[in-house]
Amino acid sequence: MARLAGRTAIVTGGAKGIGRHYSKALAGEGARVMIADIADGTDLAQELDSRHGQGTALSSVTDVSDESQVKDLVAKTIDSFGKIDILVNNAAMYVALHEQPFIDIDVALWDRVMAVNVRGSFLMAKHVARHMMKQRYGKIINIGSGTTFRGIPKMAHYVTSKGAVVAMTRTLSRELGEHGICINTLAPGFTLSETVVADNPEHVNTSKAGAIQRRALKRDMHPPDLLGALVFLASSDSDFYTGQILAVDGGAVNT
Ligand SMILES: NC(=O)c1ccc[n+]([C@@H]2O[C@H](COP(=O)([O-])OP(=O)(O)OC[C@H]3O[C@@H](n4cnc5c(N)ncnc54)[C@H](O)[C@@H]3O)[C@@H](O)[C@H]2O)c1
């Protein structure tokens, strides 16, 4: 049975990498999906329409750090789908970042990482929550990272930004609960997304072996490993679950 039949979702960063898998998984469970990314998601929207029926998916080229673009995205989603039940805050600067000592990180890069990873998630939640409040139901899934538990070196901007996402999730859960809205952090371990493999082999080299060694389940992690947890957080199965971190990493950290 489709667990998200009749639901509508926005997936930020939904055109590429792990986000592309999230978009497909939500559509596969019956949701209509707005794919929002700085990359063009037209091909994916067409693929989802042909697989699940016309009107399943739309795409929007949107920079989540820009409030006017976020407002336009939310308005377009409401115009097209009539409501928003699920928000997946997945867009982030991750693969684009190269490891460097924190004393070498430029202020401009630091600020850009915070603008996309933290402000972007805030802006999306801010403008989507208004609509969720009216219907007294919603699911916000913020994508964190296992790096926040260990504080990996040479990614200080990224790790700090994902720590902020966890804190934001907790504080927003206290405001959103009375409106029937659940908000949680999904924290993946090191995942061999198509984008990290193709675009950041240096990071794969430093992370892959250690990630397996730290896990209880000793193997590589791939995007499909996250989809069961994603659908759980997006569906009514998690209606009494909010403000939490759900770590999916083969048992590397125990939350
Ligand atoms: N791959 C991993 O090991 C791993 C581990 C933990 C958490 N994560 C998180 O999972 C998510 C996806 O990771 P990924 O491996 O697919 O990396 P990725 O860098 O390929 O994914 C980021 C996505 O966000 C989009 N994006 C970037 N800036 C944007 C902006 N300003 N506005 C809108 N979209 C923007 C990108 O085009 C891309 O689709 C990220 O939040 C990442 O931090 C990844």
User: pLDDT by residue (tens digit) across 33-83?
Assistant: 999 999 999 999 999 999 999 999 999 999 999 999 999 999 999 999 999
Res 118: pLDDT:
99
pTM exceeds 0.95? yes
116 Cβ below 6 A of ligand 1: yes
Domain architecture of the chain: domains with CATH: 8-248 (3.40.50.720)
- Give the residue, by CA position, lying nearest to ligand 1 atom 30: 63
Q: Is the CB of 250 under 6 A from ligand 1?
A: no
User: Within 13 Å of residue 13, how many CA atoms lie on the same side as its CB?
Assistant: 23
Q: With beta carbons less than 8 A apart as the criterion, state whether 12 and 94 touch.
A: no
Atom of ligand 1 nearest to the CA of 221: 3
Residue type, 217: L
Using CA positions, which residue lies closest to atom 38 of ligand 1? 13
Dist. CA 17 → ligand 1 center (Å): 7
Q: Give the model's confidence band at 134: pLDDT under 50 very low, under 70 low, under 90 confident, else very high.
A: very high
Quick one: pLDDT at residue 248? Answer: 98
For every residue of 123-176, DSSP letters joined together read: HHHHHHHHHHHHHT-EEEEEE--THHHHT-TT-HHHHHHHHHHHHHHHHHHHHH
1, pLDDT greater than 90: no
Conformational region of residue 66, where left means phi above 0, alpha means psi within -120 to 50, and beta covers everything else: beta
Å from CA of 92 to ligand 1 middle: 4
From the candidates 22, 94, 137, 158, give the one annotated as an active-site residue: 158
Q: From edge to edge, which strands make up the β-sheet containing 86-89?
A: 57-61, 32-37, 8-12, 86-89, 138-143, 181-188, 245-248
Q: Which helix (H) or strand (E) holds 48?
A: helix 42-52
158 is catalytic: yes
Band of the pLDDT at 120, cuts 50, 70, 90? very high
Tell whether ligand 1 has an atom less than 6 A from the beta carbon of residue 230. Answer: no
* Type of residue numbered 153: P
Of all protein residues, whose CA lies closest to atom 1 belonging to ligand 1?
A: 191
| pLDDT at 79 (0 to 100) | 98
The confidence score (pLDDT) of residue 110 equals 98
pLDDT of residue 149: 97
Ligand 1 mutation target, pool 94, 98, 142, 166, most atoms within 8 A of CB: 94
- Among candidate residues 222, 230, 224, 182, the one with its CA nearest the CA of residue 29: 230
